[in-house]
Amino acid sequence: MKSNIEYLIREPKIKKEKNPLLLLLHGYGSNEEDLFSFATELPDDYYVVSARAPYDLQPYGHAWYAITFDADQNKFSDDDQAIESRDLIARFINELVSELPIDSENVTLIGFSQGTILSYAVALSYPEKIKRVVALSGYLNEGILASGYETKNFKNLKMFVSHGTQDQVIPVDWARKAPEALKSLGIEVEYKEYPIGHGVSPQNFHDLKNWLEQN
């Protein structure tokens, strides 16, 4: 079954027999153009693909899964939809690898917010597909990970995790739980905080780019 994900692509400026892939996963209510705006700043040897989430929101924007609010403004995530999107992204990676000269051993996910939550889910459920994760302004939702994920082999997986200390959308306390959980699985993690809200500061972008070049 094809994923039918819509996406934007930047071809590598330096073509090799097989090039690494950077897959960008946007946040709730956004679209594939959001993170793609910094594609030109990313390393030249990558295919940069920015995917559009499958659920349409009104009046515009897209989501990887629904978020609902109750009368007391408590937020609830639709974990079933999130799991569907997790597997959809995994299929999409397979399609990209089969259609383009992409090095299947060198796939990096860059997620923002809801895109980060999905990046964690894909990488921990399918660690054989993912080499690196850049997790921006998100958190680890263990409810959408594949059952038995703890027994998988994470030795080739590395992560860069960052969050704004003033984030009003996803509290920084939620983000702080991820590095310890990841390290307990044997994953190498670099964690950074910035004095910003729910977004990516220039310093944050500079640090993630350096991390990508070093790892």
What percent of the chain stands above pLDDT 90? Answer: 88
Length of the chain: 215
For the domain with range 7-214, which CATH number is right: 3.60.15.10, 3.40.50.1820, 1.10.630.10, 3.30.200.20? 3.40.50.1820
Tell me which H or E stretch contains 82.
helix 79-99
Residue 3 has pLDDT above 90, yes or no: no
* AA identity, residue 181: A
What percent of the chain stands above pLDDT 70? Answer: 97
For helices 114-125 and 79-99, give the axis angle rounded to 10 degrees: 70
Reported as a pLDDT band with limits 50, 70 and 90, residue 96 is very high
First to last CA, the chain: 33
Q: What pLDDT digit, counting tens, does each position of 67-90 carry?
A: 877 676 677 789 999 999 999 999
62 contacts 55 by C-beta, under 8 angstroms = yes
131 contacts 106 by C-beta, under 8 angstroms = yes
pTM: predicted TM-score of the whole model, two decimal places:
0.95
- Give the residue extent of every domain in the chain: 7-214
Reported as a pLDDT band with limits 50, 70 and 90, residue 59 is confident
Q: Closest by alpha carbon to 205, among 139, 137, 138, 156?
A: 137
